[in-house]
Amino acid sequence: MTLDLTKLSQLSDLTISEPEKFSKNLKEITTHFAVLDNLDTKNIEPTFQVTGLKNISREDLVVDTPPIHQGCFVTDILVNRNG
Protein backbone atom coordinates (compact mmCIF):
# COMPACT_ATOMS: atom_id res chain seq x y z
CA MET A 1 0.00 0.00 0.00
CA THR A 2 1.31 3.43 -0.81
CA LEU A 3 1.68 5.67 2.17
CA ASP A 4 -0.90 8.44 2.26
CA LEU A 5 0.02 10.54 5.27
CA THR A 6 -3.05 12.76 5.04
CA LYS A 7 -5.36 9.76 5.17
CA LEU A 8 -3.35 8.18 8.00
CA SER A 9 -3.52 11.41 9.94
CA GLN A 10 -7.29 11.60 9.49
CA LEU A 11 -7.86 7.94 10.41
CA SER A 12 -5.83 8.20 13.58
CA ASP A 13 -7.02 11.70 14.50
CA LEU A 14 -3.43 12.84 14.92
CA THR A 15 -1.41 15.63 13.46
CA ILE A 16 1.84 14.08 12.31
CA SER A 17 4.48 16.21 14.00
CA GLU A 18 7.40 15.33 11.73
CA PRO A 19 6.01 13.74 8.53
CA GLU A 20 9.36 13.12 6.87
CA LYS A 21 10.84 11.47 9.92
CA PHE A 22 7.75 9.33 10.37
CA SER A 23 7.84 8.16 6.72
CA LYS A 24 11.46 7.17 7.19
CA ASN A 25 10.70 5.35 10.47
CA LEU A 26 7.73 3.52 8.98
CA LYS A 27 9.84 2.33 6.08
CA GLU A 28 12.45 1.07 8.53
CA ILE A 29 9.79 -0.67 10.63
CA THR A 30 8.09 -2.36 7.66
CA THR A 31 11.37 -3.79 6.37
CA HIS A 32 11.31 -6.01 9.48
CA PHE A 33 7.96 -7.42 8.30
CA ALA A 34 9.49 -8.97 5.16
CA VAL A 35 10.56 -12.01 7.20
CA LEU A 36 6.89 -13.06 7.32
CA ASP A 37 6.61 -13.35 3.54
CA ASN A 38 8.68 -16.55 3.54
CA LEU A 39 6.34 -18.37 5.91
CA ASP A 40 3.61 -20.57 4.48
CA THR A 41 0.31 -19.69 6.16
CA LYS A 42 -1.99 -21.04 3.47
CA ASN A 43 -4.08 -23.35 5.65
CA ILE A 44 -3.38 -21.67 8.96
CA GLU A 45 -6.16 -20.05 10.96
CA PRO A 46 -5.38 -16.66 12.51
CA THR A 47 -5.19 -16.45 16.31
CA PHE A 48 -7.23 -13.70 17.90
CA GLN A 49 -7.38 -15.19 21.41
CA VAL A 50 -4.62 -17.33 22.87
CA THR A 51 -6.48 -19.23 25.57
CA GLY A 52 -9.41 -20.42 23.48
CA LEU A 53 -12.17 -18.45 25.22
CA LYS A 54 -15.23 -17.90 23.06
CA ASN A 55 -18.46 -15.91 23.36
CA ILE A 56 -18.03 -14.72 26.93
CA SER A 57 -21.24 -13.18 28.15
CA ARG A 58 -22.79 -12.45 31.50
CA GLU A 59 -26.30 -13.15 32.68
CA ASP A 60 -28.70 -10.34 31.95
CA LEU A 61 -29.61 -9.55 35.55
CA VAL A 62 -30.29 -6.38 37.47
CA VAL A 63 -27.53 -6.04 40.06
CA ASP A 64 -26.87 -3.54 42.81
CA THR A 65 -23.86 -1.47 41.89
CA PRO A 66 -21.82 0.36 44.51
CA PRO A 67 -22.61 4.06 44.76
CA ILE A 68 -20.36 6.18 42.56
CA HIS A 69 -21.04 9.49 44.30
CA GLN A 70 -18.28 9.35 46.86
CA GLY A 71 -16.85 12.72 46.08
CA CYS A 72 -14.44 11.20 43.59
CA PHE A 73 -16.66 10.91 40.55
CA VAL A 74 -16.21 14.55 39.67
CA THR A 75 -12.55 14.98 40.59
CA ASP A 76 -11.16 14.19 37.18
CA ILE A 77 -13.44 16.70 35.49
CA LEU A 78 -12.63 19.41 38.02
CA VAL A 79 -8.91 18.81 37.79
CA ASN A 80 -9.04 18.94 34.03
CA ARG A 81 -11.05 22.15 33.95
CA ASN A 82 -8.57 23.84 36.21
CA GLY A 83 -5.63 22.32 34.38
DSSP assigned state of 46: P
- The least distance separating other proteins from the CB of residue 2, rounded to whole angstroms, comes to 8
3-state helix, strand, coil in the chain (%, to 5): 45, 0, 55
Residue 9: count of CB within 10 angstroms of its CB: 14
- The least distance separating other proteins from the CB of residue 60, rounded to whole angstroms, comes to 14
60 or 76: whose CB is closer to other proteins?
76
42-48 long-range contacts, CB within 8 A, separation 24+: none
Interface positions with other proteins (CB under 8 A): 1-3, 7-9, 11-18, 22, 25-26, 28-30, 32-36, 39, 41, 44-51, 53, 56, 58, 68, 72-73, 75-76, 79-80, 83
- The least distance separating other proteins from the CB of residue 63, rounded to whole angstroms, comes to 11
